[in-house]
Structures are given as structure tokens and as C-alpha cells.
Amino acid sequence: MGNYIIEVDSEQIRQAIKKADKVCGTLEPSMRKLTFFAENEKLYLKASDGCFTGFFPLTTFFYKSLHPFEIPLDVVKQFVSELNGKLTLSFQDGILTLKSQNELLRLRMNFIQEEIKLPRFENKVVFQKKRILSELDFVSCFLEEGSYTDLFYAFDRLEIVSSHLGLIAYSKIENRPTNEQSDGTGEKPERFSLSIPYVSTRHLLKALDTEETDSIELSYNPNSDKLLIYCGDVYTICGDRPERAPDRIREVVRSIVPVARVYKEQIQRLLRRSLISGRFSDVEVYSRHDEIVVVSQQGSIAYKGSVNAEASAEFSVKTKAYLLRSALNRIGSQYVVIGNSGEFTLFSSPSLSRFLILRNQRVQGV
């Protein structure tokens, strides 16, 4: 490797590190790394949580080669946090030196054998950034480590599904035609499906929220089982094939019969109050005459509250209070529609685009 000296605007590297910080998220400090690499006369930073990866351009780089290397993210983050003006980067004898005015930081470069290439996009589909992040947040907000978010795309529709402790979340987005393609091509993938780890889903939400763009381009690479994401910067996220298709969920959603309509604030208040019996307490929500009742219990502590709301059919669901409260908080409207569909009860937005699905205990045999 040669000896190189380049200049980078301190704000540019600070913004790249801010995004890298979101990508790595809650990883152990020793695992939070920045990788430097060069491609097509540009110097890039790469960061990853092991599944979700971001690639961030820093500056032009006209040298012939730069062997990829890693340095600690948190050390560099702290050093550049208060810098202004130009930052000089010196690559010499396996040492990276960052210098700004009368301050400098020296770090040993940990060279890696992996060849790093910037992902290439083919067969893209474009969505509104605000919408897709909102739906991903809704579907993943109540999950915990070890859970997954399933994505199913087919012919301009993206469906997002998750489940945890008997609570199923389902969301669908209809794609709107747009000319916002990064390379001018309009070819779209016919279909893809991917099951993404919960932790990486949350890191994705936080990283993409920092991007100052209105749209997100998705491109699926079946050879690597990775979803490519363009949102100002380039990202990839890994995943497995989902265990099952959402056919049964679609059927349940299509056959929903609304039985009640309540203010979200009212039912959220009862769910919040039900946590008096403990954060992990079980909660039952059921209809009775002209009321919807919320009951929670854990050990020797029990809570009961109700709101006035006439239900045209009986329902009763059981889950964890904090799960339902977290998911309903992101339902996206001031009203919640409660409906029955076969052996299930659904909590939905009035637009019928977001659903929380639980088994109806009032159905015989459930």
C-alpha cells in the first residue's frame, strides 16, 4: 500500500459517521467499526451491524489503490465531533493520521482480506421514504431480539408482516409510479420476499431517517439474499426466506367485519393504566354490552377499566399489555377500528392498511 494524504471536509466525515453510528446501533463497542475503501476514484466509509450495511462517500480519491482497512468507529466519532474546516487524512506505514489545525489522532489500520465493492442496482422499485419507514416502524415496534420482519413484494405492492407472542402485525403499501430512478431505468422486480432480523430493522429505520431524500429505491439480489436500498446513500440488508407466505393473513384481512370504533387515545389510556400490574402483565380486551373492557393481572395485582363503545359482535383478545400499547400507538389515526374475521379479532386504522391480529377468545373452540 502506498502513502497518501487527502483532505476531507470535517462536516462531511461527521455526517458519514453519524449515519454509520445508526447502522451499527447497539453493537458492542469492539464490534462498531468503520471500514475505509476506494472505488471509482472515490473514498468510502462502510459500516455494518453484521446484516445491515451502509456505504458513505467521503471525497475524491485519485490514487491507484487502497487496501480496505478498519478502525474503531467510536474513537473517530469522538475526535471529529467538535472539529471545523478541513480534516487531513494521512495513510502511511499502516497508520491513519487525522489532523485538524492543532489536533491529531493516530490509529493503526486493521487491514482486511475481504474485497469490497459498492453494490449495483438492477430491477428497482421506488417508494415514498416517509411511508415505508412509517410502515416498518409500525410492524417492528413491538418486536424483541430474535424476532423477524417479513417483506413480500409482488407487482407494485409491498406487504410487511411480523409476529411476536401471539400478536401479528400486517401492513401493505401500494407503489405509486414515479420517475425518480437513480440511473433513469424503469425496470422493476416482479417479486421478492425477505425475512429481516428485528435488530437490523430498527437500525435501518434510524439510519434512513437521517437521509435527506423523499424516496427509497429497493432492488433485490436473489444470489446473495440481500435487499439493496438507495436513499441518498447505498445500503444493503441481509435476510432469509420467510417461513410462510402471507396468504392466510390476506384472507383474514379481506374478510374483516367491523364491530366497533373507538378513540385510540381512550384505549391507549386504559392500556397504559393496565401496566400498573407490571410491564409484562397479561391483558384482556373484550366487549361487554356497550363497553370495551381492559383487564390486566400479574401475581396478586389486578386492574380493570372500560370505555363506552358499542360493539355489534362479541370479541375477547389476550396479549401482553406493553406489546398492544406500543403497536396501537403507531396505528396512524385518532380512531381504531375493531373487527372480527373468523377466529380472529383485528385492530386496524380506518384506512384498513395497518392491522393488528389476535385470536378471538369468544369464538367457540379457540
Q: Pairing between strand 148-154 and 157-164?
A: antiparallel
The whole-number pLDDT of residue 366 equals 46
The whole-number pLDDT of residue 177 equals 53
CA distance linking residue 285 with residue 346, whole number of Å:
12
Asked whether 347 and 338 are in contact (CB, 8 A), the reply is yes
What crossing angle do the helices spanning 264-274 and 321-328 adopt, rounded to 10°?
150
Domains and CATH numbers, the chain: 4-111 (3.10.150.10), 125-238 (3.10.150.10), 255-359 (3.10.150.10)
The whole-number pLDDT of residue 187 equals 67
State phi, psi for 172 to the nearest 5 degrees: -135, 145
Look over the chain and give the mean of its residue pLDDT values, rounded to a whole number. Answer: 92
The whole-number pLDDT of residue 353 equals 92
Closest C-alpha among 246, 251, 51 to residue 152: 246
What crossing angle do the helices spanning 129-140 and 198-209 adopt, rounded to 10°?
150
Among 166-180, 217-231, 252-266, 288-302, the range scoring the smallest mean pLDDT is 166-180
The whole-number pLDDT of residue 120 equals 87
Provide, rounded to the nearest whole percent, the portion of the chain with pLDDT above 70. Answer: 95
Statement: residue 363 has pLDDT above 60: yes
Statement: residue 144 has pLDDT above 80: yes
pLDDT category of residue 282 using cuts at 50, 70 and 90: very high
The whole-number pLDDT of residue 182 equals 44
pLDDT category of residue 123 using cuts at 50, 70 and 90: confident
111 grid coordinates: 487491514
The whole-number pLDDT of residue 65 equals 79
Say which residue the cell 487525522 belongs to. Answer: 98
Could you report the per-residue pLDDT of 169-214, keeping only the tens digit for each? 999 998 765 544 444 455 677 789 999 999 999 999 999 999 999 9
Statement: residue 96 has pLDDT above 90: yes
Say which residue the cell 475481504 belongs to. Answer: 114
Enter the pTM of the model.
0.91
Mean pLDDT (whole number) for 149-162: 95
Could you report the per-residue pLDDT of 235-247, keeping only the tens digit for each? 999 999 999 899 9
